[in-house]
Amino acid sequence: MASEIQMKNIQLRQNYQNFWQTDLMNTMELDPLYCCFACWGGPCASYLLRRRALYNDMKRYKCCAGYMPCSGKCKENKCPEFCLCTEVFCCFGNSVASTRFLLQDELNIQTTKCDNCIIAFMLCLQQVACIFSFVAMIIGNDEIREAAHILNCLADIAYCSVCPCMQTQHKIEMDKRDRMFGPRPMTIPPVQFMLRTDYHQNPPMDGYPPPYQQPYALGYVVQDYPPSVPLPPDYHQNPPMDEYPPPYQQPYAPRYVVQDYPSSVTPPPNYPSSVPPPPNYRPSC
């Protein structure tokens, strides 16, 4: 009966829609301090994670979170703290797996294929090492005994590496569940700049960039400041004075001549070249 329930639970977990906040490969990078704590103090980390998974309500505690045949039969409701301490020290692997199943069923989380391969490799290596140890005990061959010893060492290394990563994964997931990540503190927004369409073709120089050399639109050219005025035709024949240039000599309209100041008028043909002075005119000394 228990095996049928476990198989149904495994099938249900495969159809869950959510994923862990991080996979086993990245737990060391995201929270290295807790991973080291879980490596050197695995039972303590397992105790704290189980309490946190139960929202610190030990009335809800069951041995191995109710996933083992002994769950609910150890009188754990009378002294749940002592039973939890006994579980994490005597059945450390089961305590880690039970916390994992508890979080998966609560948060609708499925395990990725990479995590499944890592966990399966750890379990298979332990089983192979156990088989070699039994064979070495029965046969008594030194070579098989040496191979069993090597496999046991590899299995212990894998076990001590995967379990801390799993516990760190559970801790990060509960941080997300309890909203402990929180929003980032408010900071001053960075300075924003507008980029030209030809920014990558004509990158700006150091300091102030040069004026745009490309037209804004077809047929429109950006003028420098001050704008350049076309020179008159006789500019080189009659160069301008120091301050004010002479007026243009070109007529504004047909038969209209721009007058200088004072105005110079062409005299008529019968205009005398010299006008005699008046009779009473006396030059001043």
Q: What is the 3-state secondary structure (H, E, C) of the chain?
A: CHHHHHHHHHHHHHCCCEECCCCCCCHHHHCHHHHHHHHHCHHHHHHHHHHHHCCCCHHHCCHHHHCCCCCCCCCCCCCHHHHHHHHHHHCHHHHHHHHHHHHHHHHCEECCHHHHHHHHHHHHHHHHHHHHHHHHHHHCCHHHHHHHHHHHHHHHHHHHHHHHHHHHHHHHHHHHHCCCCCCCCCCCCCCCCCCCCCCCCCCCCCCCCCCCCCCCECCECCCCCCCCCCCCCCCCCCCCCCCCCCCCCCCCCCCCCCCCCCCCCCCCCCCCCCCCCCCCCCCCC
When mean pLDDT is compared across 144-158, 173-187, 263-277, the lowest value belongs to 263-277
When mean pLDDT is compared across 73-77, 144-148, 214-218, 281-285, the lowest value belongs to 214-218
pTM over 0.75: no
Model confidence band, residue 255 (pLDDT cutoffs 50, 70, 90): low
Q: What is the pLDDT of residue 222?
A: 44
Mean pLDDT confidence for 241-245:
52
Residue 40 has pLDDT above 70, yes or no: yes
Model confidence band, residue 275 (pLDDT cutoffs 50, 70, 90): low
Residue 166 has pLDDT above 90, yes or no: yes
